[in-house]
A and B are shown apart, each in its own frame.
Chain A
Amino acid sequence: MNNLQGQFLSSWPCLSSIHIPNTMKKLFFLLIGIISFGLWYYSSTRPIVQYEEVKPYLQAQHYNIQKSQLLDQLAFWVKRLDQQSLNNVYQQKLAHLQAQYFRLTGEVNYLRQSDSLLLDLAERFPNTVTYWQGLAQNAIAGHEFAKADHYANQALAIGEKRYQSCLIKVDVLLERGNRQEALGLLNGLGNQYSFDYLSRQVKLEDQLGKLDEAIHWMEKAVSRARTSGDSSLISWSLANLGDMYGHQGKIRKSYHTFLQALQYNPSELHAIKGIAWIAFSHDKSPTLAKEIVAFLQSLQDIPDYELLLADIATYQNEVEKAKLHTERFVAQAGKVEYGFLYTRPLVQLLLDRGEVAEPAIRTKAEIDQRAHPLSFALRAKFLQNLGAKDAAMKILEEKVLGQTEEPDAFYLAGMIYKDNGKIKLAKALLKTAQEAAFELGPIAEIEIKNALRAL
């Protein structure tokens, strides 16, 4: 008996003091192994989402209170503004609340109204930095990144409140795939411990593919948010952390983090959506996922949920239903008032359906808004659909490969190389995409598996 084994056995008094035949000992260890494996297997495959844990949050009450409080405040400033239509303080208050209302409800008209107030203010008071910052943040929220860049530059040129202007500029740079410039700007900032700083650090590390680092900083950001006592900031950061645990493959931890976010703020719908995704993507419980999504849809009239429902229907082989949800998404997301908000998923869907004209316009628009590697990957798919194989692969080589860690980019590129007979590269890319199967969802997972099998 060697030392290790002796130590181990001596921690089991009954075993160290009694003489047990060797076969028994073998059996004992084998048993521990089998039990452990069984427990591990059970815990990794059993469903994570527990309905009774989620049920308390599937109630509209808290959300409706938040919504009506915001509406009251909006009405207050609208009334004030009726009395003095050019009062810049009232205008700014209203613009801020409208943007906040958009964030809660997804009602894009409020974002547009906020924008027109801020534009008016910026025109009358071009040296007031906060108006430009507000415009930049609204533009980011509406996925108008070219505009956002212009506004951020205006804010930076004024010079005042440079710290916030730099962080907004970092947001724009990262959305546009300009990681190096973002890194330079971030490193040059003074206070590197604020919540706002940490949350940008997270985004940057994530885009550099350093997920563990990103999570490390996100955990710090959560701690920082906790010290602020602001429950919606805490829930927002926990919901984001939940997402990231999911990307890391720690689905159970992700789920518990979402639940924690909801304890702080039951209206943190992003966390509820995250739980619906786990129910679908990990637990493969479409019924529960659909119930949660139906609840979310009863609160927010936005296209996003149709996309998830389409995926679920496809997974359940309900072809007609999937088609219906897809149609609804395309009709809703394509509305003029949404502008560039849904360009990426819209293009992806239209390309999957083999459409040509609309994706031609929208992929170009997306590249103009953000020349991010993922936008170029979509352009490559568009070219591939047209039969321009060489052009598609050229774009992938020049603008995508090695420049992003987005699973979608690996997936798109892998499929294109596969169709063009570049087996080795296709295999490598699709295997990388497969590692993010949870994030890409069961439908993509099946497609990747089939593609890899065919290679």
Chain B
Amino acid sequence: MKNPKRYLLLGLVLGALFLSSCEKDNDFNPIENFLYQQEDQMARPAINTVFVSSNDKDAFNVTPPSQQGAAFASKFNSRLLALNPNYTTNALGLDAATFTNVLATDVLTVATQQPTTFFDGTNVLTGRRLDDDVISVELLLIFGGPDGTANPGLTDDNVDANDKAFLNTFPYLASPH
């Protein structure tokens, strides 16, 4: 055999060409790097919406609640005083700095031994029931002054109940309508 390599190579090259034209491989390796990222968080209704400026929203949404107070309380304070320049204290007896410090840590507190309510006249922030009038409570605390009587036009959202009855069983919310 004078140059058997040549024939072998020819065979291999042509074989390879044939194989490479069979492109039926459609299964891809699963992605190696999976990264879930927090996009949003919200506890007390409308607090994030009202007190966080558009520019801070992305940052606020990923700041752990334990760090929210330090990072945002003073901004909440300015926003509160912009909304109600005459703010002194509210029905809970909190001055602006104390109140906004509470608000800026956006968590929903739960008391396991007390009635669950956002505010029922006696208990404050022991949880939240679906039919609690949360927005009116918040408006009252922002605009109502020490005894809740200031700015009467701003302390009630005038929506007293959901427009469809809630369910007694899971998922408790009314069905979409």
Interface on A for B, CB 8 Å cutoff? 1-2, 4-5, 8, 22, 25-26, 29-30, 32-33, 36-37, 39-40, 43-44, 127, 129, 158-163, 190-191, 193-194, 219-220, 222-224, 227, 245, 250, 252-253, 256-257, 260
Q: Is B25 in contact with A29, judged by CB distance below 8 angstroms?
A: no
Q: Is A163 in contact with B28, judged by CB distance below 8 angstroms?
A: no
Q: In the complex, A147 Cα to B55 Cα: how many Å?
A: 23
* Distance to closest chain B CB from A127 (angstroms): 6
Q: In the complex, A423 Cα to B131 Cα: how many Å?
A: 81
Q: In the complex, A250 Cα to B21 Cα: how many Å?
A: 8
Q: Given A252-B23, A253-B23, does the pair A220, B14 have CB atoms closer than 8 Å?
A: no
Residue on A nearest B14 in the bound complex, by CB:
A36
**Does B5 make an interface contact (CB < 8 A)?**
yes
* Distance to closest chain A CB from B14 (angstroms): 4
Q: In the complex, A314 Cα to B101 Cα: how many Å?
A: 74
**Does B164 make an interface contact (CB < 8 A)?**
no
Interface size on B, residues (CB 8 A): 31
**Does B167 make an interface contact (CB < 8 A)?**
no
Q: In the complex, A154 Cα to B25 Cα: how many Å?
A: 44
**Does B82 make an interface contact (CB < 8 A)?**
no
Of B21, B55, B56, which is within 8 A of A44 by CB?
B21
Q: A26-B7, A40-B17, A160-B58 are in contact. List 15 more A-B contacts (CB 8 A).
A: A1-B4, A25-B1, A25-B4, A29-B4, A29-B7, A30-B7, A33-B7, A33-B11, A36-B14, A159-B57, A160-B54, A193-B35, A223-B29, A227-B34, A256-B23
Q: Is A159 in contact with B55, judged by CB distance below 8 angstroms?
A: yes
- Leading 6 A-B pairs by shortest Cβ distance: A29-B7, A253-B23, A159-B55, A36-B14, A40-B18, A32-B11
Q: Is B4 in contact with A253, judged by CB distance below 8 angstroms?
A: no
Q: Is A227 in contact with B58, judged by CB distance below 8 angstroms?
A: no
* Distance to closest chain A CB from B35 (angstroms): 4
* Distance to closest chain B CB from A251 (angstroms): 8
**Does B175 make an interface contact (CB < 8 A)?**
no
Q: Given A158-B54, A252-B23, A253-B26, does the pair A36, B8 have CB atoms closer than 8 Å?
A: no
